[in-house]
Structure 1
Amino acid sequence: MSEFSVQQRSNEFSDAVTAAFSGGDPELIDLNYRSMIRAALHSGEVYFATDASGKIVAVGIWFAPGQELWATEKQRALGFNDVIKASSPKTIEWLVGTYKPIMAEFVSKALSPRVKKDTWFANVIATDPAYQRRGLARALIEPVYQKALANNALLATCAVSDTNCTVFKKLGWEYKGRVDIPSPVSSDPFPIICLTRGS
Structure 2
Amino acid sequence: MSLKEELFTAIIKATLLEGRIYVVESGGEIATMCLVFRKPASLFGSEAQKALGFTEVFEKLDPKTQHWWKNQYPAQMAEKEKTIISQEEWDKMWYFSMVATDPKHQNKGFASHLMNTFFDEVNKNGDIFGLSTGSEVNVPKYETMGFKERGRIVMKTPVNEFPCVWLTRG
TM-score of Structure 1 vs Structure 2, range by shorter chain = over 0.9
1:87 is matched with 61
1:38 lines up with 2:20 in the alignment: no
Aligned amino acid, residue 10 of structure 2? S
1:148, CA displacement in angstroms?
A: 2.2
Q: Secondary structure at the match of 2:146?
A: coil
1:14 is matched with none
- The 1-side partners of 2:16 and 2:24 are apart by 16
- The 1-side partners of 2:121 and 2:42 are apart by 17
Q: Larger % of strand: which?
A: 2
Q: Deviations over 1:41-89 (max 9, x none)?
A: 111100122221x222221000013322112221111111111111111
- TM-score using structure 1 length: 0.81
81, 88, 93: which one aligns with 1:107? 81
Q: Output aligned runs, 1:20-39, within 5 Å.
A: 26-39=1-14
1:190 lines up with 2:165 in the alignment: no
- The 1-side partners of 2:25 and 2:123 are apart by 26
Task: Give the unaligned 5+ runs of structure 1.
Answer: 1-25
- The 1-side partners of 2:42 and 2:136 are apart by 24
Aligned amino acid, residue 167 of structure 2? L
Aligned amino acid, residue 196 of structure 1? T
Q: Output aligned runs, 1:151-162, within 5 Å.
A: 151-162=125-136
- Contact (CA 8 Å) 1:66, 1:118: kept in 2 or not? no
Aligned amino acid, residue 136 of structure 1? F
- The 2-side partners of 1:68 and 1:50 are apart by 25
2:25 is matched with 50
Q: Output aligned runs, 1:118-137, within 5 Å.
A: 118-137=92-111
Aligned amino acid, residue 14 of structure 2? A
1:101, CA displacement in angstroms?
A: 0.3
- The 2-side partners of 1:190 and 1:45 are apart by 27
Task: Give the unaligned 5+ runs of structure 2.
Answer: none
Number of residues of Structure 1 aligned to a counterpart in Structure 2:
170
- Contact (CA 8 Å) 1:159, 1:192: kept in 2 or not? yes
Moved over 3 A (4+): none
Q: Secondary structure at the match of 1:134?
A: coil
2:34 is matched with 60
- The 1-side partners of 2:6 and 2:117 are apart by 27
- Contact (CA 8 Å) 1:174, 1:195: kept in 2 or not? yes
Q: Secondary structure at the match of 1:36?
A: helix
- Contact (CA 8 Å) 1:65, 1:118: kept in 2 or not? yes
Q: Could you say what the CA RMSD is over the residues aligned between the two structures, in angstroms? A: 1.3
- The 1-side partners of 2:32 and 2:133 are apart by 16
